[in-house]
Amino acid sequence: MKNAEEILALIRDALPQARVELVLNPSVSAQHSLRVHPADMFAVASFLRENQELVLDYCSNVTGVDWPGKEITEKVKVTKIVDGVEQVVEETVKRTEPGFLEAVYHLYSMKLGPTAPHGPVVIRMRTGNRTDDVSLPSLTPVWRSAEFQEREIFDLFGIVFTGHPDLRRILMWDEFEDHPMRRDYIDPDDYEYEPTPHDEVLKRAADHAKAEVAQ
Amino acid sequence: MAVEPDLKIELGKQGVVVTTISEIYNWGRRSSVWPMQFGLACCAIEMIATTMARYDLARFGAEVFRPSPRQADLMIISGTITKKMAPQVVRLYNQMAEPRYVIAMGACAISGGPFKQGYNVLKGIDRYIPVDVHIPGCPPRPEALIHAFMMLQKKIDAQPLTGEDRPRHLDAAAQGEFPIPVQGAHDLEPPVNRLVWPLPAPAPSGDCG
Q: What CATH code is carried by the domain that includes residue B48?
A: 3.40.50.12280
- Is residue B188 within 8 A of residue B181, CB to CB? The reply is yes
> What pLDDT digit, counting tens, does each position of B88-122 carry?
999 999 999 888 999 999 999 998 888 888 889 99
The verdict on a CB contact (< 8 Å) between A192 and B199 is yes
Q: How far apart, in whole angstroms, are the C-alpha atoms of residue A3 and residue B89?
A: 51
> What pLDDT digit, counting tens, does each position of A88-140 carry?
888 888 888 889 999 999 999 888 877 776 778 999 999 988 888 899 999 99
Q: Which residues have a Cβ under 8 Å from the Cβ of B106 and sit 6 or more positions away? A: B41, B42, B43, B78, B79, B113, B135, B136, B137, B138, B139, B140
Interface test with B, best of A152, A155, A171, A173 (most B CBs within 10 A): A173
Chain B residues closer than 8 Å to A203 by CB = 208-209
Do B121 and B110 fall within a single domain?
yes
The verdict on a CB contact (< 8 Å) between A209 and B184 is no
| In a domain? residue B189 | no
The verdict on a CB contact (< 8 Å) between A175 and B185 is yes
Mean pLDDT across chain A, nearest whole number?
88
Do B41 and B15 fall within a single domain?
no
Do B55 and B137 fall within a single domain?
yes
Do B65 and B152 fall within a single domain?
yes
Q: How far apart, in whole angstroms, are the C-alpha atoms of residue A196 and residue A206?
A: 12
Q: Give residue limits of the domains in chain A.
A: 4-66+101-183, 185-215
A187 touches chain B (CB under 8 A): yes
The verdict on a CB contact (< 8 Å) between A188 and B197 is no
Mean pLDDT across chain B, nearest whole number?
87
Cα distances (Å, whole numbers) of residue B151 to B30, B132, B144, B145: 11, 9, 10, 10
Q: How far apart, in whole angstroms, are the C-alpha atoms of residue B69 and residue B5?
A: 38
Bridge partners for A34 per DSSP: A22, A123
The total number of structural domains that make up chain B: 2
| In a domain? residue B75 | yes
- Is residue B43 within 8 A of residue B71, CB to CB? The reply is no
| In a domain? residue B197 | no
**Main-chain dihedrals φ then ψ at residue A28, nearest 5 degrees:** -65, -35
Chain B residues closer than 8 Å to A193 by CB = 123-124, 199-201
| In a domain? residue B150 | yes
Q: Exposed, middle or buried: residue A101 (CB in 10 Å: 0-12, 13-18, 19+)?
A: buried
Do B83 and B7 fall within a single domain?
no
Do B41 and B105 fall within a single domain?
yes
**Band (A1; pLDDT cuts 50, 70, 90):** low
CB-nearest to B208 from A176, A202, A212 is A202
| In a domain? residue B51 | yes
- Is residue A154 within 8 A of residue A169, CB to CB? The reply is yes
Do B66 and B9 fall within a single domain?
no
Do B83 and B110 fall within a single domain?
yes
The verdict on a CB contact (< 8 Å) between B200 and A178 is no
Do B37 and B97 fall within a single domain?
yes
> What pLDDT digit, counting tens, does each position of B30-51 carry?
999 999 988 898 999 999 999 9
Residues of chain B whose beta carbon is less than 8 angstroms from a beta carbon of chain A are 83-84, 111, 117, 119-120, 123-124, 183-187, 191-192, 197, 199-201, 203-204, 206-209
The verdict on a CB contact (< 8 Å) between A192 and B120 is no
Q: Could you tell me the residue range of the domain that residue B3 belongs to?
A: 1-30
A170 touches chain B (CB under 8 A): no
Do B24 and B37 fall within a single domain?
no
Q: How far apart, in whole angstroms, are the C-alpha atoms of residue A116 and residue B20?
A: 81
Q: How far apart, in whole angstroms, are the C-alpha atoms of residue A53 and residue A7?
A: 10
> What pLDDT digit, counting tens, does each position of B67-76 carry?
999 999 999 9
Total-model pTM = 0.83
| In a domain? residue B71 | yes
| In a domain? residue B193 | no
pLDDT for B203: 52
Short-list A149, A206, A203, A204, CA closest to A181? A149
The yes-or-no verdict on residue B208 having pLDDT over 90 is no
The yes-or-no verdict on residue B65 having pLDDT over 50 is yes
- Is residue B159 within 8 A of residue B167, CB to CB? The reply is yes
The verdict on a CB contact (< 8 Å) between A206 and B200 is no
| In a domain? residue B206 | no
CATH (one of 2.10.109.10, 3.40.50.2300, 3.30.460.80, 3.40.50.2020) for A4-66+101-183: 3.30.460.80
A197 or B105, greater pLDDT = B105
Eight-state DSSP code of residue A84? T
Q: How far apart, in whole angstroms, are the C-alpha atoms of residue A3 and residue A118?
A: 8
